[in-house]
Every structure is written in C-alpha cells, then in structure tokens.
Amino acid sequence: MKVNFNRASLAEAMGLLTSVVPSRTPKPILRCVKISAGQDNVRLCATDLEVGINYTISGVQVEELGDVVVPADRLAAVARESTDDVLLLQAAEGACEIRGADSHFTIYGQEADQYPGVPDFEGDADMQITLGNLQAGIEQCLFAAAKESTRYALNGILWEIKGKKLTLVASDGRRLARARVNLSSAAKETIAAAKIIVPGKTMALVDRIGSDESDMVAVKLVDNQLLMSCANVVISSNLVEGSFPKYEDIIPTDHDKKLKLSTEATLSAVRRAALLTTEESRGIKLSISSDTIVFSGRAPETGDAEVKMPIDYKGEPIDIGFSPQFLIDVLRVVKTPEFELELGQPDRPGLIKSGTNFLYVVMPINLG
C-alpha cells in the first residue's frame, strides 16, 4: 500500500476513530486501526467489538492498493503532531512508513487479515434524520444516562419512533431527560415497532461527527445492530439488551406549583448558590414565594450563599432541595430563553419543560 494523505483529513479521521479504540483489551489488535486503500479513496476502520466505525477519506492519491493494521494511538499522534500538509503512508510486510518533508516514522503493525470485520451500510435506510436534529436530541439526553449501572438498560438511550418523530429518553434513576426531534420522513414499520436502546458511547460518537448539520443520517436496524451512515462515516453498534423502565409513569402530571424562569439567570443563580457547598452538603435549597425565588447553599465548615431572583408566582410557597449539578446539567442544554418549572410537594420530583419537545424530571434531595 502506498498513499499520499492530506494530513489534516487524516488527523480528523483519527480523532474520531481513536474514541472507539479500547485503551485496555486482551486482544491487542483491537488497539489498532485498519487502513484499506482502494482505487480512489481510503477506508479506515476501528472497533471494540461492540461499536465500530468505517471512515472514508476521499481526495487521496493512491499509488498502490493494499491493507495495513497499525496502532491507532501512534498513527493519531503522528498525524496530529506533523507540520506537513501531505503525508506519505507506505506499508509492506506488517510495517507502515510515514514520511513528511523532514520526518520519517516506521510503525510496526499486525496482520491485516486478522482484523475483525466492521459492518458497512448496505441497502435502503429504515429512517432518515438530519445530523443537526439528531445531535440536538443527543445533547439534551446523553448527560442524564447512567455512566455505570448494573441495570444495563440505563447505560443507553431509549429510541421511540412514531410517524415523523424520534423520542430519545435517558435516565440514571435519579433524573430523566426526554427530547423529541423531527425525522426527515416517516420511518419504516420494522424500526418503528422496535424498542431500541442505543449505548451512550455510540450516541457520544454520533455527537462528535463533524459534518454539516444539514447532512442526512441514514439509519438501519439489522438484527441486534444499529447502523448509521452520515457523509463519509458509518457507525455500527450493538444494541443494549434489557428493557427500559416505563418512564411515562414517573413524569408528574398533577403538579400545582408552576412558574416560568429565565434560563440564563437561573443557571447563574444555581452556580453561585452552589459555590460554598461541599460533598457532604451536596444540595441547594430553592425557596419560592409570591415574588421571589431564593437559591441558597450551606456547608457548616465553609459558610453559606444566597442568591435572590424576582419571579411572578401565584401558588403556595415551597422549599425544596436539589442537586445543583443536576440543575446545571439541564440548564446548559435548554434551548429556549425561558423554561417552566413545575413542583408538587417537597418530596416529589421536580419537572422542567422547554417548549413542547423537551422535559426533564429530577428527584429532590433532603437537606435535613
């Protein structure tokens, strides 16, 4: 194999591919990427056997066809640190040579035919959505998914498809985020009927695709795998096994205390009220009365903080405690200048709504 690469394109590809490559694995070949040179493009593959990426780079000058498998971190570092506009990759007998104007690297690789297969996108899509819409939905949900849970379903994001709407739901047991986004056309019945739980790692990968927001993402369900193709990237992923909790049952519908708040002002108030909290005093208190909401934080050994904000509120006064980080996380992804806060009793979950397509349920905490 012998190929002239645009260095910036190679570095961009490796930036995405290395996020799939496992840092620890009993199979050393999984820490590598496979590079396959065709007639007019080069395909790079990476997988951890659960999530895979096929990344095609066009606009390359291929002098000799072939395949090579090399450690991903080494190739990524060379592409990132080199100052040349063009890099020549030449591979033979398990080694890959990379040449720049004043540099020469030799990276030892592994047998190309031993690299596991990474699925490509073939046939018609089951549904299509713009990259911008999908990424917007991911950003409003992914933060609420469990990072490590024995209930594996909570480590992923639930996809529910109905007509031309995709609903994304994530929860870690203490909070829940639900976002709805528009599909480009109605989905096929095969994917609409399936209850799909997509791993958080896969969703984070899709969120990192740097293509144009108007690019179309083609989605296809094959057995227990989801394939997503956008521009020059194909992501394949095993689905999370298990059943997602009946999330509709925990979304409050009977709250009687409702108010509208400025997103920016509330985010600032929560951040300031949390400045003096500690791990032990992990909550802030919201004290709501007819014309004021007071955000307060206290730690016996540190001090206390209080931030007041004027509001228009007609309901009963209430004091309720929340984790400040859980409020900061959601306020960062609210897209509207104002949001609705709905509360019941101090021991009931709070509900945050932004427009008709986003809601967030958060459990209160006892401030003692």
Encode pLDDT of 25-59 as tens digits.
Answer: 999 999 999 999 999 899 999 999 999 999 999 98
pLDDT confidence of residue 149: 59
pLDDT confidence of residue 239: 95
pLDDT confidence of residue 300: 82
pLDDT confidence of residue 203: 96
DSSP 8-class letter at 110? B
pLDDT confidence of residue 72: 97
Please, what's the largest Cα pairwise distance for the chain? 77
Residue 99 structure tokens: 């040449």
Half-sphere exposure of 250 (CA within 13 A, CB side): 21
CA pair distance 177, 153, nearest whole angstrom: 15
pLDDT confidence of residue 87: 96
Q: Exposure string (b/e) for 197-214, b if CB count within 10 Å is 16 or more? A: bbbbbbbebbeebeeeee
Q: Is 10 exposed, middle or buried (0-12, 13-18, 19+ CB in 10 A)?
A: buried
Q: Which structural domains are found in the chain, ordered by start?
A: 2-114 (3.10.150.10), 127-247 (3.10.150.10), 252-362 (3.10.150.10)
pLDDT confidence of residue 81: 95
Residue pLDDT, tens place only, 317-343: 999 999 999 999 999 999 999 999 999
Q: Contact, 230 vs 291, CB < 8 A?
A: no
Tens-digit pLDDT profile for the chain (368 aa)? 999 999 999 999 999 999 999 988 999 999 999 999 999 899 999 999 999 999 999 989 999 999 999 999 999 999 999 999 999 999 988 899 999 999 999 999 999 999 999 999 999 999 999 999 999 999 999 999 988 756 677 889 999 999 899 999 999 999 999 999 999 999 999 899 888 999 999 999 999 998 788 999 999 999 899 999 999 999 999 999 888 989 999 999 999 999 999 999 999 999 999 998 877 768 999 999 989 999 999 888 889 999 999 999 989 999 999 999 999 999 999 999 999 999 999 999 999 999 999 999 999 998 87
Residues in the chain: 368
pLDDT confidence of residue 150: 61
Half-sphere exposure of 74 (CA within 13 A, CB side): 15
CA pair distance 30, 75, nearest whole angstrom: 14
Alpha-helical regions (H) of 193-279 = 200-208, 263-273
Residue 13: closest CA among 79, 85, 100: 79
